[in-house]
Chain A
Amino acid sequence: NAGVTQTPKFRVLKTGQSMTLLCAQDMNHEYMYWYRQDPGMGLRLIHYSVGEGTTAKGEVPDGYNVSRLKKQNFLLGLESAAPSQTSVYFCASSSTGTDRNSPLHFGNGTRLTVT
């Protein structure tokens, strides 16, 4: 049981390049999330998904797109990377939205630098 796995762990992009971050969970969780964390700050929610085929915007969605084609995977896309998107990206999952008890399970992050 690997939990939440993020790939890649590190990436350097040039401004304007595109990339996709992959998040995979093996806990059969319905909900998945993408957060970003900038130095010295807490986590900010980018997008989230309450189930396969559905996504919703979080606090800072601009410049990102997401897809949830399979329940176990949640993809975060940067179509045209900008230096302001240099950050650590964390994926998380949880078992249900109606049960407010469910905690989040996090991956270990993707460190992205845009030059």
Chain B
Amino acid sequence: DAKTTQPPSMDCAEGRAANLPCNHSTISGNEYVYWYRQIHSQGPQYIIHGLKNNETNEMASLIITEDRKSSTLILPHATLRDTAVYYCIVRVGGYGQNFVFGPGTRLSVLP
């Protein structure tokens, strides 16, 4: 099962782009990369996912390297409300949709 590695914490100035890295060197060819975030103690919120092409939606952009061994979540103009724990997840195989949540990256957006 593919695992992910993220830095435990990062800071970002308000209004600047927040770039959150994730390593997933053992990812297999048909596994997707997902990003979620958890604000305070709320339920995790889906942000974006991708397979090998870069993806963008109204919340963020996802850049996946050509070898798919790492990815970066980009919040283009971070606000104080983006302060949260961000989880990078690679879907594991098997019966059912088992998402494995690691400790994530705690992003602090500073005024």
Contact = CB atoms under 8 A, between A and B. Distances in A.
Tell whether A and B belong to one assembly.
yes
A103 B49 contact: yes
Interface stretch (B61-69, B76-84, B101-109): B101-109
Interface in B57-106: 87, 91, 95-104
Interface residues of A, number: 30
Q: Is the interface of B mostly helix, strand, loop or mixed?
A: loop
Interface of A is mostly: strand
Interface string A28-41: 00010101000011
Contact of A101 (B43, B49, B104): B49
B97 A105 contact: no
A74 interface: no
A103 B101 contact: no
Contacts of B104: 42
B41 A109 contact: yes
B32 A100 contact: yes
Contacts of B42: 108-109
Contacts of B30: 100
Which 8 pairs show the lowest CB-CB distances between chains A and B?
A106-B43, A42-B101, A43-B101, A103-B46, A108-B43, A42-B102, A106-B44, A42-B103
22 contacts: A4-B43, A35-B101, A40-B103, A42-B87, A42-B103, A42-B104, A45-B100, A48-B97, A48-B98, A50-B96, A92-B43, A100-B30, A100-B32, A100-B97, A101-B32, A101-B49, A104-B44, A105-B46, A106-B43, A107-B43, A109-B43, A111-B41
Interface of A: 4, 31, 33, 35, 40-45, 48, 50, 56, 58, 88, 90, 92, 94, 97, 100-109, 111
